[in-house]
Amino acid sequence: MHAISDAQRRARLGRRHALAAEHRADTVVDAAWAVVALHGTDPATTVLSALARTRQAAPADVEQALYDDRSLVRVLSMRRTVFAVPREVAPVCLAGASDIVAAEQRRLLLKALAEAGITGDLDDWVARAEQTALAAIEAAGEVTSTELSQADPVLATRVQLGSGKFVATPTVASRLLTLLSAEGSVVRTRPRGTWTSTQFRWAAMSSWCDLGERPDAVSASTELARLWLQSYGPATLDDLQWWTGWTKTRTRAAVAPLDTVEVELDDRPGLVLADDTDPVEPPAPWVALLPALDPSAMGWKHRDFVLGPHRERLFDVNGNAGPTVWVDGRIVGGWAQRDDGEVAFALLQDVGAEATTAVEQAAADLTAMLGDVRLKARARGWTLVEKDLRA
C-alpha distances in Å from residue 86, one per residue of 22, 31, 59, 62, 337 = 22, 9, 17, 12, 29
Instruction: State residue 209's pLDDT score.
Output: 96
Instruction: State residue 116's pLDDT score.
Output: 87
Instruction: State residue 167's pLDDT score.
Output: 73
From first to last of its 391 residues, the chain has per-residue pLDDT tens of: 789 999 999 999 999 999 999 999 999 999 999 999 999 999 999 999 999 999 999 999 999 999 999 999 999 999 999 999 999 999 999 999 999 999 999 999 999 999 888 989 999 999 999 999 999 999 999 999 999 999 999 999 998 777 777 777 889 999 999 999 999 999 999 998 899 999 999 999 999 999 999 999 999 999 999 999 999 999 999 999 999 999 999 999 999 999 999 999 998 999 999 999 999 999 999 999 999 999 999 999 999 999 999 999 999 999 999 999 999 999 999 999 999 999 999 999 999 999 999 999 999 999 999 999 999 999 899 999 999 999 9
Instruction: State residue 381's pLDDT score.
Output: 94
Taking only the tens place, the pLDDT of each residue in 59-68 is 999 999 999 9
DSSP 174-233: HHHHHHHHHHTSEEEEEESSSTT---EEEEEHHHH----SPPPHHHHHHHHHHHHHHHH-
Cα–Cα distance measured from residue 221 to residue 95, given in angstroms and rounded to the nearest whole number = 7
What's this model's pTM, rounded to 2 decimal places?
Answer: 0.95
End-to-end CA gap in the chain = 50
